[in-house]
Amino acid sequence: MVELTQIQKDLLKEVAELDALPVGAYNIRSDGKSIARSNSANIEIETKTDKSGIDIYIKPGTKRESVHIPVIIGQTGLKELVYNDFHVGEDCDVTIIAGCGISNCGGQDSEHSGIHSFFVGKNSVVRYVEKHYGEGTGTGKRFMNPTTIITLEEGSSMKLETSQIGGIDDTKRVTKAVMKENASLVIHDKILTNKDQKAVAEIDVDMEGDGGSCDIVSRGVAKEDSYQEVNLGITGNAACSGHAECDSIIMDHGVILATPRLKAMNVDASLIHEAAIGKIAGEQLMKLMTLGLSEKEAEETIIQGFLR
């Protein structure tokens, strides 16, 4: 592994909570190339030969193991498209920590587009954590375009904890999932935008098997002149249950467009959606300000709790 710069260390801390190399399998990508990799007895990471990216193979029966695959960019003007495929065997229980951080201190735009495909075997459990973060003093913008494609086999379950925690100028976040019989999917997505940033999130889930359940919760905060668009869709093609919720806070001159969409193709499909957009309640601010916080501090405390 090459010696990390302070910027690289700071980005890894932000997106993957890493102060040192993690235990278990990992692949750390920086400025377009892998700079550190390790396999475990049950998890193997291979470089793709036909395009940029990696294949992650998790053996059947793997329990209580994790794999880290953070991406960091500190080079202004770098634009990359990466394909990462996760092959999870049957009867597994694993955690996958991803995330991307961009530090742009130059005058050219930097961009990371990642396409993550998950093939989750029967009766397996997967927790997936992905954070996006941007920083930098340059005039170049920071673009982030993640695509997540999920196939859940019979009896499998997956929980996605995805967030954009600040500093990304423009993003389009696409998530698509197909669920088989008795599969379960939970998605918790959080977005914070400010200045003139733009964020678009599209989540579409197709429930193909009886007994499936899906819960999608999207939370967003749009500050200053930023724009957010959230589209949540669930299609029930079997006897299944699905819930989609979009809850947003609008501040300053921000704009939020939320569109929940349900499509029932089976008489036993039970689908529910909720959407709410509003400002921070005055009584919440007053309560915190009576405890000694300034109005700005009170706002930040409420936002942090909302996006937790």
Mean of pLDDT values over 291-308: 88
Instruction: Convert the pLDDT of each residue in 137-153 to its tens digit.
Output: 999 999 999 999 999 99
Residue 20 pLDDT class (50, 70, 90 cuts): confident
User: CB–CB of 208/242 below 8 Å?
Assistant: no
User: CB–CB of 16/68 below 8 Å?
Assistant: yes
Spatial distance between the Cα atoms of 282 and 149, rounded to a whole number of angstroms: 40
User: What is the per-residue pLDDT for 244?
Assistant: 97
Strand partners, 303: none
Strand partners, 132: 100, 164
Instruction: Convert the pLDDT of each residue in 155-198 to its tens digit.
Output: 999 999 999 988 999 999 999 999 999 999 999 999 999 999 99
Please name the residues in contact with 278: beta carbons below 8 A apart, sequence gap of 6 or more: 248, 249, 250
Does residue 64 surpass a pLDDT of 90? yes
Nearest to 112 by CA among 127, 95, 133: 133
User: What is the per-residue pLDDT for 285?
Assistant: 84
Instruction: Convert the pLDDT of each residue in 79-131 to its tens digit.
Output: 999 999 999 999 999 999 999 999 999 999 999 999 999 999 999 999 999 99
Does residue 1 surpass a pLDDT of 60? no
**Which element (helix H / strand E) includes 36?**
strand 33-38
Strands 43-47 and 53-58: antiparallel
Which three-class secondary structure state does DSSP give residue 5? Answer: coil
Does residue 3 surpass a pLDDT of 80? no
Spatial distance between the Cα atoms of 223 and 145, rounded to a whole number of angstroms: 21
Instruction: Considering only residues 215 and 286, tell me which one the structure prediction assigns the higher pLDDT.
Output: 215
User: What is the per-residue pLDDT for 287?
Assistant: 85
User: What is the per-residue pLDDT for 171?
Assistant: 97
What are the helix and strand counts (H, E) for the chain? 3, 21
User: What is the per-residue pLDDT for 265?
Assistant: 97
Spatial distance between the Cα atoms of 226 and 268, rounded to a whole number of angstroms: 40
Mean of pLDDT values over 216-239: 97
User: What is the per-residue pLDDT for 284?
Assistant: 84
Instruction: Considering only residues 68 and 286, tell me which one the structure prediction assigns the higher pLDDT.
Output: 68
User: What is the per-residue pLDDT for 266?
Assistant: 98
Residue 278 pLDDT class (50, 70, 90 cuts): very high
User: CB–CB of 142/113 below 8 Å?
Assistant: no
User: What is the per-residue pLDDT for 2?
Assistant: 62
| Mean residue pLDDT across the chain | 95
Please tell me the least confidently modeled range out of 4-8, 73-77, 157-161.
4-8
245: its two tokens: 């919720």
Q: Using alpha carbons only, what angle is made at residue 62 by residues 177 and 44, rounded to the nearest 5 degrees?
A: 80
Spatial distance between the Cα atoms of 106 and 141, rounded to a whole number of angstroms: 9
